[in-house]
Every structure is written in structure tokens, then in C-alpha cells.
Homo-oligomer: A and B are copies of this chain.
Amino acid sequence: MDIAHKFMGPGATKTMWRINENGNVIGTIIVNREGFPETTTLDSLTAATYSNHMRNLSHHASNALKEIDVTDELMILRVVSKKYEAVVAPDKEFHLVVVMRRH
């Protein structure tokens, strides 16, 4: 959590914990540009796996959108599977990934 504090200010960690308090949320991850978890409320392995995949997916989605309309921009990517639901909110420096239980 130290890195989050230093680079993103106390607001980032506060937001992560606020999201985490929602009963359906399994965990949140802040992913850096390289696709690695910068800080997370999940265990390291799960965080690393999700970070990598979700960042790649959000890049693919972003590129697809740009090909459809250059002036468009990805805001949210939501992947709903049989077991989980993952939401990616991309930003210039960091991506926020939230992993949730399916209701």
C-alpha cells in the first residue's frame, strides 16, 4: 500500500478500501503501465494473473475502439464470466481492476 500512498496520494488507497467494503467485491488491484500490480487487496498470485490479463484486454479494447473511431476512448471494460465479474477502469498511468462475485 506504500507505493499507492506515495504515487497516487492517500485518496487512491482510500478509494480502494471503500470499493473493497462492498460485499460483492473480492478484491481491487492498481495495475501499472507494465501490467504488474502496484498495490492490491488480493493475494499476489491472483493479483498478478488478473493484472496481466486485464491490462492486455483493456489495451485490445482501446485499440479496437480507436480503429472504429479515432476520437473515441475506452472508459470501462466489464468482463462477466460464469463465476466472476471483473471491471477495468483504465487511466494514463494506472489501471484500476475490481474483481467481484457474480450475484
Contact = CB atoms under 8 A, between A and B. Distances in A.
Interface of A: 49-50, 53-54, 56-57, 60-61, 64-65, 67-69, 71-84
Given A53-B67, A76-B78, 7 more contacts: A53-B64, A56-B64, A57-B61, A57-B64, A61-B79, A72-B83, A73-B81
B56 A60 contact: yes
A103 to B, nearest CB: 13
A52 to B, nearest CB: 9
Contacts of A74: 79-81
Contacts of A79: 61, 64-65, 74, 76-78
User: Which of A49, A82, A84 counts the most chain B CB atoms within 10 A?
Assistant: A82
